């Protein structure tokens, strides 16, 4: 659902595109603040099956009517003497786009970024409880990450529009890796809250930037397919982190190696992102 919504968003805006995509994706940050405490209450009051059923029905009731409000972006108008910059890859076929160096770097960065933060996100509540934090307080850490993600999306979106997407993405990935490593040295609730603010703002802020890069590299025409493929790779990364974290905990009865491994993957994401080619731009020729 995320990929087509972002593709639609980038089609609506030619300026401040990073901020526009960040605003749309900010809805993803609301869920940890609202649904996580609700899920914890349902599990405590009933059981996990009831919690899953109620949350599923709620999503169905809210999501389907909201989809009816979505509109297609207007078709771009080509000026006879236009000089508006367009993506150099806008004329590529899907096959050539998916084999291009730009897509390979985009997909690998997206994969590594999600592989780095998914494990800590998924196992954060369990890790906090292992450190002695009460269950409801541990869930609130995830809620704080979601709240910070709202501000992070806006902050990183504005920075990307002003400074460029690539340097902001690289800086965000570096901060993410450092914060993940910092979790190894904390154990108190207030420390979890402090890092949750930075961590949530960072991973929430960088995620929308991949869609902007895809739009800049490949144009609007095949954006849905290209960004969908990149999102598929990111989903594989999101699946890897929780699995690896569970295997690590089962083997060692602690999460130290999860955070070490995630931090190293996060640094790998930084290295891959540095390899992003300069955004290719060309001018429209007069008719």
The full set of domain ranges for the chain reads: 2-70+92-275
Q: For 89-129, write each residue's pLDDT tens digit.
A: 556 788 888 888 889 999 999 999 999 999 999 999 999 99
In this predicted model, which residue has the larger pLDDT, 220 or 253? Answer: 253
Phi, psi (degrees; rounded to nearest 5) at 215: -65, -40
Give all strands (DSSP E) within 7-82, no chain letters: none
- Whether residue 87 is predicted with pLDDT greater than 70 in this model: the reply is no
Distance separating alpha carbons of residues 224 and 275, to the nearest angstrom: 23
Q: For 4-51, write each residue's pLDDT tens digit.
A: 555 545 555 555 555 566 566 666 666 666 777 777 788 878 888 888
CATH 3.40.50.1980 at 2-70+92-275, yes or no: no
Q: How far apart are the first and last CA of the chain?
A: 38
pLDDT of residue 238: 93
pLDDT of residue 168: 92
pLDDT of residue 6: 52
Of 180, 183, 47, 178, the C-alpha closest to 128 is 183
User: Is 135 exposed, middle or buried, given 0-12, 13-18 or 19+ CB atoms closer than 10 A?
Assistant: middle
SS3 85: strand
Question: Both tokens of residue 138?
Answer: 């541990």
Of 139, 142, 145, 120, the C-alpha closest to 42 is 139
Distance separating alpha carbons of residues 100 and 36, to the nearest angstrom: 40
């Amino acid at each position: 659902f995320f990929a087509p919504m972002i593709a639609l968003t980038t089609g609506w805006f030619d300026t401040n595109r990073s901020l526009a995509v960040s605003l749309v994706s900010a809805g993803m940050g609301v869920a940890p603040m609202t649904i996580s405490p609700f899920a914890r209450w349902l599990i405590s009051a009933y059981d996990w099956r009831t919690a899953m059923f109620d949350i599923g029905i709620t999503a169905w009731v809210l999501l389907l009517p909201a989809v009816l409000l979505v509109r297609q972006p207007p078709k771009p108008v080509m000026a006879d003497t236009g000089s508006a910059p367009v993506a150099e890859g806008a004329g590529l076929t899907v096959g050539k786009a998916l084999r291009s160096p730009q897509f390979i770097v985009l997909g690998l960065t997206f994969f590594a970024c999600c592989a780095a933060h998914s494990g800590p996100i998924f196992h954060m509540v369990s890790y906090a409880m292992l450190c002695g934090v009460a269950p409801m307080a541990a869930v609130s850490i995830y809620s704080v990450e979601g709240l910070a993600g709202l501000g992070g999306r806006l902050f990183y979106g504005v920075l990307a529009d002003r400074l460029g997407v690539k340097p902001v993405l690289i800086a965000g990935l570096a901060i993410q890796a450092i914060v993940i490593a910092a979790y190894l040295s904390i154990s108190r609730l207030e420390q979890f809250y402090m890092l949750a603010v930075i961590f949530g703002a960072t991973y929430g802020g960088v995620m929308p930037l991949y869609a902007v890069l895809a739009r800049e590299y490949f144009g609007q025409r095949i954006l849905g397919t290209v960004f969908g493929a990149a999102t598929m790779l990111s989903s594989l990364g999101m699946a890897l982190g929780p699995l690896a974290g569970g295997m690590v905990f089962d083997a060692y009865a602690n999460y130290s190696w999860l955070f070490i491994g995630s931090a190293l993957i996060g640094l790998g994401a930084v290295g891959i992102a540095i390899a992003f080619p300069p955004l290719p731009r060309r001018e429209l020729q007069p008719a």
